[in-house]
Amino acid sequence: MMEFDEVVRREAAGQVLVGVDRTFARRFYTGVPLRQIEERTGEGPYFEKMVIYLAFFGGPLALLASLFLSIWILGWWSALLIPVAVVVWIGFHANSARGAARIHFTSLILISCVLALVFSGGPNRERWGLALTYTTALWLSRLLYASATSFLRAFALRNRLAWEWIQEHLIVREVH
């Protein structure tokens, strides 16, 4: 693998791309104590860990909230909706760890739900609130992996000690 300074220079010039496995990035921020990161790198990623933990715990909590809301809003119809919603969320969450999974479309749906909630009235407002809560659960699952990957990549490119620590998990590819 190339040396740190060479990778940083070539990455800034657009000659190489630096990537990191999404699952490793998520595990790094959720499993490695902040104190250990600070000791090994001289830098404490407080903001990054806060965002990751918000998404890590917020996604399942938003899912749970949407399930309770569905019971309240849809009554017995929720017995049909809940199993489907849980299976879709699990699949979506698992797919979020893949490198090809992007957050853009989910963000667009989330914004659309917010706008629909703001501009709707009557019983539709409750349904849009339910849709927003469920979409938030999906969005937070995608945010968890997308932000962890982005944060860890940036951390490795600005901090030599972080680079050396996680180098075996980094992917450097030539741009053609």
> With bands split at pLDDT 50, 70 and 90, how would you rate the model's confidence at 115?
very high
Q: Quick check: is 104 in a domain? A: yes
What residue ranges in the chain does DSSP mark as E strands? 16-20, 170-174
Percent of the chain at pLDDT exceeding 90: 81
The one-character DSSP state at 13 is T
The per-residue pLDDT for range 81-113, each reduced to its tens digit, is 999 999 999 999 999 988 777 889 999 999 999
Please give the tally of structural domains in the chain. 1
Q: Quick check: is 67 in a domain? A: yes
Tally Cβ neighbours within 10 Å of residue 56: 18
Q: Quick check: is 156 in a domain? A: no
Q: Quick check: is 70 in a domain? A: yes
DSSP states of 18-59: EEE-HHHHHHHHHHS-HHHHHHHHS---HHHHHHHHHHHHHH
Q: Quick check: is 172 in a domain? A: no
Which tokens belong to 55? 């998404």
Q: Which residues contact 155 (CB under 8 A, 6 or more apart)?
A: 41, 43, 45, 48, 162
Q: Are 169 and 20 in contact (CB under 8 A)?
A: yes
Q: At 139, which amino acid appears?
A: W
Mean pLDDT, the chain, as a whole number? 93
> With bands split at pLDDT 50, 70 and 90, how would you rate the model's confidence at 70?
very high
Cut 0.85: pTM above it: yes
The per-residue pLDDT for range 34-64, each reduced to its tens digit, is 999 999 999 999 999 999 999 999 999 999 9
Q: Quick check: is 146 in a domain? A: no
Q: Which domain holds residue 91?
A: 59-141
Q: Which helix (H) or strand (E) segment is 86 a member of?
A: helix 78-96
Q: Quick check: is 128 in a domain? A: yes
Q: What is the mean pLDDT of residues 20-30?
A: 95
pLDDT at residue 99, rounded to an integer: 74
Q: Which helix (H) or strand (E) segment is 89 a member of?
A: helix 78-96
Q: At 153, which amino acid appears?
A: R
